[in-house]
Chains A and B, each alone.
Chain A
């Protein structure tokens, strides 16, 4: 005769101690929620609440220090008819796409190099992380001097090398201003890609490379058929994070150009800040900030689906 376990045999005991604190904590269901609670509360307070409040704000005519009036999608309609908003949209996409491509390429190259064995490798790895470690605003101030027309080290080098007669106006020219913020964002973002991809590279067994080499695969072929397929999920995840960070990059643009000259480097977040904080139009500012949500959501969903399919 089969003897059934007695999963509910403790019912008497539980009922006896149901009201005791110790008894409640003994139950895994309750205990696990208690352990999760701080994290969940943190996310609710600092992610979910601001996010949904932002959506609610964007649907209101809400001036600072005044009560809001629900206006539906009117703020979005206003932005739709605002020429500057479309310039901002174009700027943001150029900024995000170009920096992402540069950071991915540069980060992958960095990871491949620092994955090799060479003297002082650990020191080099630490040094390459510096741009990511230094507070953004601090390094951006340093870049302000690098791009300064009088003190620019780049201009000095180019002029003294005889390559140009006069220094460039890095932040005054609309094209160079965009190039400048792209350079700074790329400089700062490459280590994030580099270190993350390095972690991926280190999971690849050397046996795979040996086997490929024995089969006559060239360096390029080994990279294409061994390295890339293995690190592809990491590339996708790191790109996803990077795109999100770049879309919401505020400090570099705000400190270097504040969106100038003539909005040539104005991006969603700086425009939203100007509208909401400087202009006191909190509803409109929230709408401008949320305008990047559809593109981000599409990208995240697309990449996640691709990752799952893979």
Chain B
């Protein structure tokens, strides 16, 4: 029964990978940027399905909400400000060769990696057994991911939160400086303006 389920999930994985490739090729060939933005959302949703199949539900959540949800909306917002059609560009061979070479090198690199789900892989041998045993004993929590992110790797997560904070502050500094300039009542405007313009 378990074997049968594995075979079935393998076919689903192959189907999703095929759809991913089809979506990626379509995005690359499309000139209509609106359709490309929507397709990139679909691409993220397919990735989320793949992560769910691999039992990485946390990553799937993030991918679905960020990739398929918010970044598609932001992309559409950017398109509303610019234009929704890509300019005709001549076909260039150089970049295409670079992309092909990089892809081939990445594929070559995966040959050296342990196979998916291999219990003897180095990542399962190092600190993971300690985390798995410690989560139940020290925290009494069933979710090992939360225990690792919040407690074992609390410093990393603090750093990540600081990165997100910095991103938010950076966007405010860059995009809101201009709006303040239009407001005649705001006396700080010239100062904001130079900061927004210099980057």
Q: Do A and B bind each other?
A: no
Chain A interface (Cβ < 8 Å from any Cβ of B): none
